[in-house]
Amino acid sequence: MSKTGINLAIFASGNGSNFAALIRAVRQRKVKASFVILVCDQPEAFVVERAKKAKVVVILVKREDFARREDFEAAIIQRLKYYKIDLIALAGFMRMLSPGFVKLYRNRIINIHPSLLPAFKGAHAIRDALAAKVDFTGVSVHFVDNQMDHGALILQKKIKIISTDTLDSLEKRIHALEHKLYPEAINKIL
């Protein structure tokens, strides 16, 4: 089979809306990927069902099955090498990758985060932006380095926080922007 694009691994641990958006973009040829796999550490995560429905290869690697983090990551790396993965897109993968893993895939791991980094790092960025009563928040796509929600920016877009926003309404608008921005960012780095 001739390669017409990248081999993409999407790492996710939860609902998988960004996973679904990326798969849609690949299928609509908005992202040039030859092959896509899902790497997940939570077998009960809804993203697994999304992947199965989309007929995407699912790699389940549970952290608790390994005595050491290095062994957990080695199992993932073995699969990434088997599938000849060119790029890793983190999409709600709620684990920090070790410096050794990041070094091995330097400049080939990207992450999407629901804020205008460096503001509001961490797992509750949307809630934190709303609580801070800032005028704007947004979405950032960046290369992964050894710090949480840090690394060279690829793309950023902002959203105005409106006075009637609730956590739910702001999350919906942020997620809609993420679904557009992540494919754009992947194409930009390709």
Instruction: Work out the number of other CB atoms within 10 angstroms of the CB of residue 116.
Output: 20
Coil, strand, or helix at residue 130?
helix
pTM: 0.95
Tell me what the mean pLDDT of segment 78-89 comes to: 98
Mean pLDDT of the chain, nearest integer: 95
Residue 4: per-residue pLDDT: 72
* pLDDT score of 125 more than 90: yes
Q: How far is CA 72 from CA 13, 63, 170, in A?
A: 15, 6, 35
The CA-to-CA distance between both ends of the chain, in Å, stands at 20
Question: Residue 133: what residue type?
Answer: K
pLDDT digits (tens, 9 = 90+) for 29-82: 999 999 999 999 999 999 999 999 999 999 999 999 999 999 999 999 999 999
Query: CB-hemisphere CA count at 13 Å for 87?
Result: 25
Based on the residue annotation, tell me whether 113 is a catalytic residue of this protein: yes
Tell me what the mean pLDDT of segment 116-143 comes to: 97
Contacting residues for 104 by C-beta, under 8 A, at least 6 apart:
77
Q: Order of strands across the sheet with 109-113?
A: 57-60, 33-40, 6-11, 87-90, 109-113, 136-143, 153-160
Domains in the chain, ordered, with CATH? 6-189 (3.40.50.170)
Tell me what the mean pLDDT of segment 76-91 comes to: 98
* Residue in 113, 142, 150, 175 annotated catalytic: 113
pLDDT band at 3 (very low <50, low <70, confident <90, very high): low
DSSP assigned state of 143: E
How long, in residues, is the chain? 190
Residue 109: per-residue pLDDT: 98
Q: How far is CA 36 from CA 30, 33, 51, 89, 125, in A?
A: 14, 7, 10, 10, 28
Residue 2: per-residue pLDDT: 40
Task: Let me know: does 58 contact 51? Beta carbons within 8 Å.
Answer: yes
Distance CA 64, CA 49 (A): 21
How far from chain centre, in Å, is Cα 9? 10
Candidates 68, 63, 53, 64; CA nearest to 20 is 53
Residue that is written with structure tokens 């919906």 in the block: 172
